């Protein structure tokens, strides 16, 4: 986790500088991006080489992002050593082009599958899933007990608290577009990283006792 936080810190430093440059620049560099899109987020994510345009020079802001693509975005955002995982296939439904990125994110606790064999690579990523990935990278949700029995509600509650959905304009289960994912990433980079300062508790006959969720900004 320390390496992940270092990577986020370095990216954040770049974002702070690039954000000022983008604000000063004004217009977007992509012909298919206009004022209705999150221009600053798109430009910043392009500048740090996390989300870039296609061969035709377009960003395609309204195209939905798949769970496979989201794993690639997270691996690049965190500067994970995905090359180390080439040849590793964590889930049965992950195609070769994204397998190293998925494996790297899984090994670092950023993503999880639907079950032990299925990741859902071709499915679109929704707001809750993407927010969960971002918050795990920030240091939240280290333990399953954090979800208080409801993954969706717990994720939305914490994401809303740190304004992770600011400028996203999507319902919790809606598929996210490239425009929205760019803004979500920028919001995450502007958020505090946290350390777990609660009490891990202990188990009695398989039941967690004395667990106390608490995360403190670094």
Over residues 56-77, the pLDDT tens digits come to 999 999 999 999 999 999 999 9
**Cα–Cα distance for residue pair 207/202, rounded to 1 Å:** 8
The reported pLDDT for the residue numbered 142 is 86
The reported pLDDT for the residue numbered 1 is 47
The reported pLDDT for the residue numbered 134 is 96
Q: What is the dihedral of CA 138, 141, 143, 144, to 10 degrees?
A: -150
**Cα–Cα distance for residue pair 89/94, rounded to 1 Å:** 7
- Do residues 2 and 139 touch, judged by C-beta distance below 8 A? no
Q: Which two tokens stand for residue 136?
A: 């795990």
Residue spans of the chain under pLDDT 50:
1-2, 23-25
**Cα–Cα distance for residue pair 3/13, rounded to 1 Å:** 15
The reported pLDDT for the residue numbered 159 is 95
Q: At 90, which helix (H) or strand (E)?
A: none
Mean pLDDT of the chain: 88
* Residue spans of beta strands (DSSP E) within the chain: 194-196, 202-204, 207-209, 215-217
The reported pLDDT for the residue numbered 204 is 82
Mapping DSSP to helix (H, G, I), strand (E, B) and coil, where does residue 174 land?
coil
The reported pLDDT for the residue numbered 6 is 57
């Amino acid at each position: 986790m320390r390496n992940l936080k270092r990577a986020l810190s370095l990216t954040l430093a770049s974002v702070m500088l690039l954000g000022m440059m983008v604000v000063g620049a004004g217009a977007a560099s992509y012909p298919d991006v206009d004022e209705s899109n999150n221009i600053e987020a798109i430009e910043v994510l392009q500048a740090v080489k996390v989300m870039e345009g296609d061969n035709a020079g377009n960003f395609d802001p309204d195209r939905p992002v798949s769970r496979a693509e989201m794993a690639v975005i997270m691996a690049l955002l965190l500067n994970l050593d995905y090359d180390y995982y080439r040849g590793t296939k964590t889930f049965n439904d992950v195609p070769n082009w994204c397998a190293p990125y998925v494996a790297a994110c899984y090994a670092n606790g950023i993503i999880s599958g639907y079950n032990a064999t299925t990741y859902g690579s071709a499915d679109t990523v929704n707001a809750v899933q993407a927010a969960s990935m971002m918050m795990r990278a920030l240091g939240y949700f280290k333990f399953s007990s954090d979800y208080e029995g409801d993954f969706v509600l717990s994720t939305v509650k914490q994401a809303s608290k740190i304004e992770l959905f600011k400028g996203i304009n999507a319902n919790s289960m809606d598929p996210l577009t490239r425009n929205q994912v760019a803004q979500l990433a920028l919001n995450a980079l502007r958020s505090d990283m946290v350390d777990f300062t609660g009490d891990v508790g202990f188990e009695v006959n398989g039941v967690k006792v004395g667990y106390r969720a608490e995360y403190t900004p670094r």
